[in-house]
Amino acid sequence: MTGPTTYRMPLGESLTSGPWSRLMLRALVIGAALVGMLGVRWTGAEPDAVLSLVVAALAVYASTRPDSPIGVIVVGIIVLNWFFVTDASALGWSVVPALCVLLVHAGLAALSVSPPQSALPGPFLVRWAMHAGVVGVATVVVWALALSLGGLDQPGHVLLTALGFVALVAVAVVLGQRAAVKDV
């Protein structure tokens, strides 16, 4: 006696067989990663085609396994590529890779929330789009502030910078401890 075959979703199948909502999010992640890599061309720098292909491949894999550390590697390469290929004069274009990094992160996070076979409901996508829009606006505000403050030409202060960074880390630690207390 034989019955229907067992349904499984291997990697190759999961690339193309997901619901449309997931396929669109995957395309968004891969496209944003590529734009983040190739966007350095607008600053006058030459993008590394091989590295861009590697990032695209990693983005494809990360979009099929969104709840994995591969996403960190993808956004890490985009940031480091920008850091090494451009210089401080590229501040005017930095909002583009920043928004691309946001899209990659938000897309992977949204994909990781639900099982690989599951369709993403409309209200769920709308909420994620709204949240990403809020963060995008915050990024544009910071970019605008950086552009306006960049014209001041004031020398930096090492001590104040270090203190600010320590304060930021302290806030992160306090928030983390609050989270740990909630667990108990």
What residues line the site for another protein (CB under 8 A)? Answer: 1-4, 6-7, 19, 66-69, 71-72, 75-76, 79, 82-83, 86, 88, 90-91, 94-95, 97-99, 101-102, 105-106, 108-110, 112-121, 123-124, 127, 131, 135-136, 138-139, 142-143, 146, 149-150, 156, 161-162, 164-165, 168-169, 172, 175-176, 179, 182-183
Minimum Å gap between C-beta 57 and another protein is: 18
What CA–CA distance (Å, rounded) separates 17 from 122?
19
28 versus 66: smaller Cβ distance to another protein: 66
Looking at residue 116, the DSSP 8-state letter turns out to be: T
Which ranges of 93-121 would DSSP assign to H, the alpha helix? 95-113
50 versus 83: smaller Cβ distance to another protein: 83
Angle at 150 between CA 170 and CA 45, to 5 degrees: 100
7 versus 16: smaller Cβ distance to another protein: 7
Minimum Å gap between C-beta 84 and another protein is: 11
Minimum Å gap between C-beta 52 and another protein is: 17
49 versus 138: smaller Cβ distance to another protein: 138
**Up-side HSE of residue 74: CA atoms within 13 Å toward CB?**
33
Other C-beta atoms closer than 10 Å to the C-beta of 93 total: 19
13 versus 57: smaller Cβ distance to another protein: 13
44 versus 76: smaller Cβ distance to another protein: 76
With b for 16 or more beta-carbon neighbours within 10 A and e for fewer, the 131-144 pattern comes to: ebeeebeebeeebe
Minimum Å gap between C-beta 58 and another protein is: 13
Where does residue 44 fall: left (phi above 0), alpha (psi -120 to 50 degrees), or beta otherwise? left
**For residue 30, which of 72, 60, 68, 61 has the smallest C-alpha distance?**
60
Minimum Å gap between C-beta 33 and another protein is: 13
Minimum Å gap between C-beta 62 and another protein is: 10
What CA–CA distance (Å, rounded) separates 128 from 113?
11
